[in-house]
A and B are shown apart, each in its own frame.
Chain A
């Protein structure tokens, strides 16, 4: 599978004039993401990381001689804006496909429109189960559905914390509900002593009441299905009252370079400088979470090295500010999945050939993931497997310009499952390595 980029020296065949967004020298794609607003922190890095990856591909001649033009617009996580901006991208800018747009409410708002306009809605940045809808064949997910996170974490809790009291704190929307659904498939209901929720729209301060209720119920293991800000706003008040349960945190809210700075100030009293905290200790030590590709702290991993090089070369200001964190890795991986899809779709690029390539050959795409992509004519999910990871102060840290953040070690095998009631299976297949030509820059 060493399909190297830039080897296609044969000029593209004359493109059928009817495929919007595709010419013999370019492919125009678009997306809507939150760049401003309370939902922007962290997620605003994904699109620039994707742009950097496409810039790398374009520097190597593009795909079949076509350069990828990626336009992403700010919808502020407001579905009304998404509806308008997506119509602008499709009706006015004539994009070939909508790639890497973010959010469940936002992308649900345009799912019907995009499918009706026959525009592929690819690799939606959301773990909702709803993307696997046969009514909308052009809409595909990418990251593992939240229910899978819940199942795999739940199975880990069941076998490693048997007999302990479990408490949940979940976001009161589809994300939190889907994680809880997965948890409940594995953890016996009698073990769950408290189920707390928080509303992301009114998240203003510490989730003190919820943590107090979890402590009062005696929860010894607390599962957090939270965005990074809420993870911090849960751990902080718990620490205030001296409550330190075993935390199990969904990967959405467990990226150490993202959550770490929010917790940093707690470790200091007034007068210390904000920002840096030692890798050892800290509130994140011992946190259980999952990962579906090698994290940024695994500096020996060839994918991590490649992602770093791509960012350093093609998004230097982004890299200088924040280094490589989970969101950047996500963006590079997603963009490369799209590049693979374009390559397999062939010179005669149409929306149909693109969908066929993903559905029939998706499982053989090269990605940083631990498991192959699941795309087929009957499923629209991408990754459906991950491994359980524990954040350990002894593990190599993730080093960014903002500090040194705790790294993680795997504490279980790579497992796959489906968001439904199917079983969890170990995955023993190989992981792919980036092809030789990807590891050289410029």
Chain B
């Protein structure tokens, strides 16, 4: 039977659908991690953590229309929360991860409140300064925050015979799957509709009974929680929390990765995560192929990254996911009245 008939078997309820997709993805990833080398497994874990961060950013910017150039700071808040809890208390790491998300959400409220009054570039300016200011707090009080050496994060030991690297990657993958399911459900629910209504027309939304400011702050808080969780997960896998890991460029790269993946989409954030993790490696190896001697080739990788950003934006303004959707919508389909269909060729059509 063809695709049309198959849809009968896909559950109607979006919540269940999201869960099924997540389970399916989980199974595929499980198989993948057993086949890959240890280093690649570590990279898959990194991608998963970035997907968590980008998912929140996509909700904030895509669904709710607020630009943030400061999500690296929320990652720092989550990572440092995890580090401090791990250093001073001995609680279960899952609780610590949840606390990291919670504290980051609180930071999101702190920024989200003034953000309700700001539009576009003004909000961007404030979040940019936020990205600069938060790591400087950790630098200013090195005794608490570990200074140059940072805080050590001792990862939980892997159960049974599972390798340590695989275990850490799986924590990150599970985090990503859970967060994506929650975000997808959220975007489908009335909260998601409220986010989009506020983005599209504040006044109409307000007339319809939606509390605009509260919706905006909620979006900020949720996206900050995602960033905090992602930052904490990365800290768990690298084993250290250090302000040097949260420069201004991180926040800018997050925004770029989100837009390249496809603003507003959730699956596109997987492309964004892959870009963040593989782009540096790929552009470095490409530049060493040019064999310019190490000084120039190190910067060549930078140039390649910038060029890719520009070209991708010009070629696919809706990001990779947007581009894929466009391709899917414009795929050649026989016999559907699509003006791109070529002259009919006799084929046997099954029903």
Contacts and interface: CB of A to CB of B under 8 A. Distances in A.
Contacts of A80: 234, 238, 242, 244-245, 250
Interface string A122-163: 000000101000000000000000000000000000000000
B149 A87 contact: no
Contacts of A44: 295, 298
A105 interface: yes
Contacts of B142: 173-174, 177
Contact of B148 (A108, A113, A202): A108
Interface in A311-366: 317
B202 interface: no
B189 to A, nearest CB: 34
B280 A81 contact: yes
B240 A36 contact: no
Contacts of B250: 80
Nearest to A108: B149
B284 interface: yes
Interface stretch (B35-43, B171-179, B337-345): B35-43
Contacts of A35: 294-295, 298
A92 B247 contact: no
B39 A91 contact: yes
B298 A174 contact: no
A78 B76 CA distance: 14
Task: Give the contact-size bracket for chain B.
Answer: 35 or more
Contact of A74 (B39, B284, B293): B284
B245 A113 contact: no
A268 interface: no
Interface in A188-214: 199, 201-202
Contacts of B238: 79-80, 83-84, 109
B299 interface: yes
Nearest to A104: B148
Interface residues of A, number: 37
A202 B132 contact: yes
B39 A108 contact: no
B244 A77 contact: yes
Given A201-B135, A317-B293, A173 B301 contact: no
A147 to B, nearest CB: 14
A36 B298 contact: yes
Interface string B140-151: 101000011110
B168 to A, nearest CB: 11
B252 to A, nearest CB: 13
B37 to A, nearest CB: 7
A273 B295 CA distance: 25
A202 B234 contact: no
A48 B294 contact: yes
A105 B284 contact: no
A174 B242 CA distance: 13
Contacts of A172: 139-140
A78 B240 CA distance: 12
Interface in A4-51: 35-36, 44, 47-48
A47 B37 contact: no
A78 B39 contact: no
Interface in A271-326: 317
A88 B140 CA distance: 32
B197 to A, nearest CB: 37
B5 to A, nearest CB: 46
A105 B301 CA distance: 23
Interface in B253-301: 277, 280-281, 284, 293-295, 298-299, 301
B244 A79 contact: yes
A105 B294 contact: no
B239 interface: yes
A74 B301 contact: yes
Contacts of A108: 148-150, 240, 242
Contacts of A77: 244
Given A77-B244, A78-B247, A128 B139 contact: no
A173 B239 contact: no
Interface in B164-213: none
B284 A73 contact: yes
Contacts of A83: 238-240
Interface string B147-158: 111101000000
Nearest to A40: B298
B96 interface: no
Contacts of B43: 84
B87 interface: no
B150 A109 contact: yes
A201 B136 contact: yes
A106 interface: yes
A35 B302 CA distance: 11
Contacts of B239: 83, 109, 112-113
A36 B152 CA distance: 26
Contacts of A317: 293
Nearest to B234: A80
A345 B234 CA distance: 38
Contacts of B302: 36
Contacts of A106: 244
B298 A74 contact: yes
A42 to B, nearest CB: 12
Given A47-B294, A202-B136, A105 B39 contact: no
A239 to B, nearest CB: 29
B240 A87 contact: no
B247 to A, nearest CB: 6
A130 B277 CA distance: 30
A105 B150 contact: yes
Contacts of B46: 84
Nearest to A173: B148
A430 B295 CA distance: 38
A104 B142 CA distance: 14
Contacts of A87: 39, 42
A31 to B, nearest CB: 12
A48 B149 CA distance: 27
Nearest to B46: A84
A112 B152 contact: yes
B240 A109 contact: yes
A92 B245 contact: no
Please provide the 4 A-B residue pairs with the shortest distance between their CB atoms, ordered closest to farther.
A35-B298, A174-B148, A80-B245, A91-B39
5 contacts: A36-B301, A79-B150, A174-B148, A201-B136, A201-B243
Given A80-B245, A108-B240, 14 more contacts: A35-B298, A36-B298, A78-B247, A79-B244, A80-B238, A80-B250, A88-B39, A91-B38, A92-B37, A109-B245, A113-B239, A174-B149, A199-B136, A317-B293
